[in-house]
Amino acid sequence: MIKVRKFGFILLAWVSVCCLCREAKAQNLPIFLDGRFDDWFNINTKYEDTSGDANGAFGLDLLDFSVTNNQDYLLIRLQLNQNIKLVEDNDLFLYLDTDNNSQTGKTINGLGAEIGIDFGNRLVYMYPNNSLFTYNLDRVGYRSLPTVSGFEHEIALRRNALMPDNTTPVFSNSSIQVLFKDERNSNGDAMPNNGSTYTYTFEESTIEANPHISIEREEENHLRLMTYNTLHEGLEDGSRVGAFRRIVEAVQPDIITFNECWETSATYVKNFMDNILSLSTSFGWYSVKLDNGNITVSRYPILQSWEVSPGRRITASLIELPRDTYEKDILVVNAHFKCCGDGDSQRQVESDAFAAFIKDAKTVGGRIDLAENTPFVLAGDLNLVGSSQQLTTLLKGDIVNEFIYGEDAPLDWDNTDLEDIISPQTGDYSAFTWLGEGSSFPAGRLDFMIHSNSVMEVKKAYTLNTKTMPLQDLDYYALNANDTEIASDHLPKITDFELATNTSINSLTSISLQLKLQPNPFEEKLQISYEMPKNQNLQWQLFSSMGQMVWQTHTHNSSDKLNLSDEIDVAGVYLLKVKDVTSQSYRVWRVAKL
């Protein structure tokens, strides 16, 4: 048994051996669809093509592919000799003989293909009964990553997809045959080569297809950042604002970078946050809007802001963090890069401008001088759907236009690369942040957080998708299953960071307390039972989501039971804070009233 640890949960993998006859059985690995490929290393269902058999000097050479599955998806990893955008500007096809019968479907290279995936035109062809039907890729639940160009790609097709009669399953057999073919011309490369076939047999053992990811903050001093594209003034849309309110209330962020607030004012967003998450300060939330569309809000003061590239949607804000907790402030760069496939050149300019700004911030003089080792984060909808060079620039400081933006230079404080935070969705092994409903383009990873990992550490990262969350989690956090779908076509991306702390915070170690909340969520009565190693003076406080204390008491025993019946009248999410009066250490639990 192989254990692969990713993002705080353990993936269990059972591996079977690939037959030399090129008929393979699934590995039953829960692949994380994230555009990275380390979790494919233990997949033995791999086909390697003849190298260098592409037609012509510029032909696409198909190198190898691997196959696996879970209960919901067929998963394929593809490797090529060229750095291509998989769903644009190519003539690559994937043919699947899904009934494993060469006498049915489209005859090609010895297969009878029931479906063909036309990657470059984002179409799926179905061939029932010698007929041809054409659909968008969502007909078969198509997904692929990376969204930028690459030499390797991960592809997922939903196993419950139906043929044109809407009754017959696409995958009607336990075994399928797989063929990739470059259709640029009649002699384009095929994998397997003409005359050979590759058969794959599904693994039907139980596979954990929906991992549980808690959205709780693990430690109170972890700084929580959320980035969210609100889709055309979503925070002011009366039909969607309720969903946004529930999401923000459940996540409890410290800093948010909002995109697509074209006409929305910073004052409106400040008031929006004050109404949802009231702070125990006289000023409340801070907000800033310098460019056309981005608003940054923070529970901590915003000391100074800059337009990174005037006329573009990139605003950097230096945020003052409390000195009783953190050693440094933090620089948050809120960005919304140029959209779509024709925006490659402009996104490269924006990437170069960010790299130049960070180089300036790290050195004396220029527009900005940061204290050494000040943590910084780039967050927002970066729309990286074209060349992978833009992401390379953002991570490595590999500047394209050096005449304007200066020479290449590593961007982190220790002169290494920045870290691209890839966040799994709640309840799904995928990292998509844009769902693309109704678009010919499939779901993509468009929203990013890129940070200086030499001075700050990711402790938790996830992308909130209420549609894939378990029902008990939705109830617990007072969320609706369709909240993220209603709010925006983008999903909110959340990251908890551990920053260097002042020594004064180190004395606030977690108290040793075993506590049960029954039931939680509750309707009428909430019973609290607890046990501790010895008698201690505990202060119990219950706060509403608005920050108002609605109940408190003290206990002095090592164990006891507390009943809350009349103290909580209003449905919602509450925070229970338990503090050891002697040591001043405390812990916080979340409770919900239905």
Longest CA–CA span in the chain (Å) reads 83
Buried b / exposed e over 223-240, threshold 16 CB at 10 Å, is: bbbbbbbbbeebbbbeeb
Domain-located, residue 212: no
Residue 298, pLDDT score: 97
The answer to whether residues 142 and 13 belong to one domain is yes
Q: How much is the pLDDT for 11?
A: 35
How much is the pTM? 0.82
Which tokens belong to 383? Answer: 């729309």
Q: Which of 536, 594, 540, 533 is nearest to 568 (CA)?
A: 594
> Which CATH number is 258's domain given?
3.60.10.10
Residue 568's CATH number: 2.60.40.1930
Do the Cβ atoms of 436 and 38 come closer than 8 Å?
no
How many CB atoms lie under 10 A from the CB of residue 518? 11
Q: What is the pLDDT of residue 545?
A: 61
Are residues 176 and 253 both part of a single domain?
no
How confident is the model at residue 42, as a pLDDT?
A: 83
Please report the pLDDT score of residue 27 as a whole number.
Answer: 53
Are 167 and 262 in a shared domain? no
Same domain, 445 and 377: yes
Phi-psi region of 105 (alpha: psi -120 to 50; beta: other; left: phi over 0): left
In-domain check, residue 209: no
CATH number of 104's domain: 2.60.40
Q: Is 572 exposed, middle or buried (0-12, 13-18, 19+ CB in 10 A)?
A: middle
Residue span of the structural domain in which 14 resides: 2-201
Count of structural domains, the chain: 3
Does 216 fall in a domain? no
Residue 208 is assigned to a structural domain of this protein: no
Q: Is residue 207 part of a domain?
A: no
Tell which of 201, 236, 271 closes a domain: 201
What per-residue confidence (pLDDT) applies to 504? 38
What's residue 342's pLDDT? 83
Q: Is residue 522 part of a domain?
A: yes
Cα–chain center distance at 177: 32
What residues contact residue 96 under an 8 Å CB cut-off, 6+ apart?
113, 114, 115, 116, 117, 157, 176, 177, 178, 179
β partners of residue 456: 499
| 114-140 core/surface letters (b: 16 or more CB in 10 A; e: else) | bbbbbbbebbbbbbbeeeeeeeebbbb
- Phi and psi at residue 28, in whole multiples of 5°? 65, 35
Cβ within 8 Å of residue 127, ≥6 positions away: 105, 106, 113, 114, 115, 116, 133
Q: Give yes or no: residues 313 and 376 share one domain.
A: yes
The secondary structure element, H or E, covering residue 157 is: strand 150-158
Same domain, 435 and 574: no
C-alpha pair distances (Å), 242 with each of 61, 226, 248:
51, 18, 10
The answer as to whether 537 is a domain residue is yes
Q: In order along the chain (594 residues), what is the average pLDDT of each group of 10 residues?
A: 34 33 57 94 89 74 94 95 95 97 94 97 96 96 97 97 98 97 89 92 75 89 97 98 98 98 97 94 93 97 95 96 91 96 93 98 93 96 97 98 97 97 94 90 97 97 96 94 98 96 45 81 84 86 73 88 78 81 75 80
Same domain, residue pair 41 and 83: yes
* Separate counts of helices (H) and strands (E) for the chain: 7, 36
| The pLDDT of residue 352 | 98
Confidence (pLDDT) at 588: 75
Q: Does residue 231 share a domain with residue 145?
A: no
Give the Cα separation of 549 and 556 in Å (integer).
21
| Residue 210, domain member (yes or no) | no
* Interacting residues of 381 by C-beta distance below 8 A, sequence separation 6+: 227, 229, 259, 260, 335, 336, 337, 434, 446, 447, 490
Please, where are the H alpha helices in 444-539?
471-476, 483-487
Task: Indicate if 379 and 241 belong to the same structural domain.
Answer: yes
Q: Which of 169, 201, 233 is the last residue of a domain?
A: 201
Same domain? For 151 and 258 the reply is no
Between CA 519 and CA 523 the distance in angstroms is: 8
> Same structural domain for residues 512 and 497?
no
> Does 196 lie in the same domain as 308?
no
Of 444, 474, 505, the residue that ends a domain is 505
